[in-house]
Structure 1
């Protein structure tokens, strides 16, 4: 089996969806592949840190440029996405923004590392 795609590793780390057969197959690969196991371990640490952060851990909401980076990396659009409207607490929106930024950054790094590894072996 090929390495697990970075986006799939992010989904596994977030654990938001009901596990599928593809998830089970990916986890079997992760058990045997040091590279994928390390990537998933890093993502799990980021998700855990973001989910266990307290409002006092964030002195202020993330700056506007964070939303621009997320927007650029995800949609290649210049308009920043809006924080989720269903979350009324500004602190919770800030935590969600921090989590989104962290996952986006880790996914981008994993994708770049994966491309680098393929170019070295190809």
Structure 2
């Protein structure tokens, strides 16, 4: 059985675009497949939690040394990235929350794929 690609499951969980024929086929598969249904359910819960997060739920800004080490790790040639503003505007807050949501979903997908791979290899 061919399962739904993790990236497609993320798109279904985010529901940012109108449904396509591929989405309809994926949803039909999800109705019959426990694994894909569980992964979609998990991703949808993560997206819902991330979208309902408030700025107070986020950790404080990291110290300047963290940004310096990130810059060093990315490239010795480029200028270090600027730290985010101390009091971000509304659109910056939404972008940050969306980024966090995608990061959490990516981690969840990676964990699910790794778990599935381990089960198959055992």
| Alignment TM-score, normalising by the size of structure 1 | 0.69
Output the CA distance in 1 between the equivalents of 2:62 and 2:104.
Answer: 12
Q: Measure the CA separation in 2 of the matches of 1:100 and 1:7.
A: 11
The higher radius of gyration belongs to: 2
User: Does 1:54 find its partner at 2:48?
Assistant: no
Render the CA deviation track for 1:60-96: whole Å, top value 9, x for unaligned: 247869xx7xxxxxxxxx63999xxxx8545334323
Q: 1:117 to 1:20 in 2, by over 3 A?
A: farther
Which ranges of 4 or more aligned residues in structure 1 deviate by more than 4 Å? Answer: 61-65, 87-90
97-106 vs 6-15, which moves further: 97-106
Aligned equivalents of 2:35, 2:62: Cα separation in 1: 31
Q: TM-score, normalised by structure 2?
A: 0.69
* Matched residues, number: 105
State the Cα deviation string for residues 12-56 of structure 1 (Å, max 9, x = none): 101112211111001011111111111100000000000011111
RMSD: 3.0
1:117–1:40 Cα change, 3 Å? same
The reply on whether 1:94 has 2:89 as its aligned counterpart is no
Q: Which runs of 5+ in 2 are unaligned?
A: 76-80, 83-87
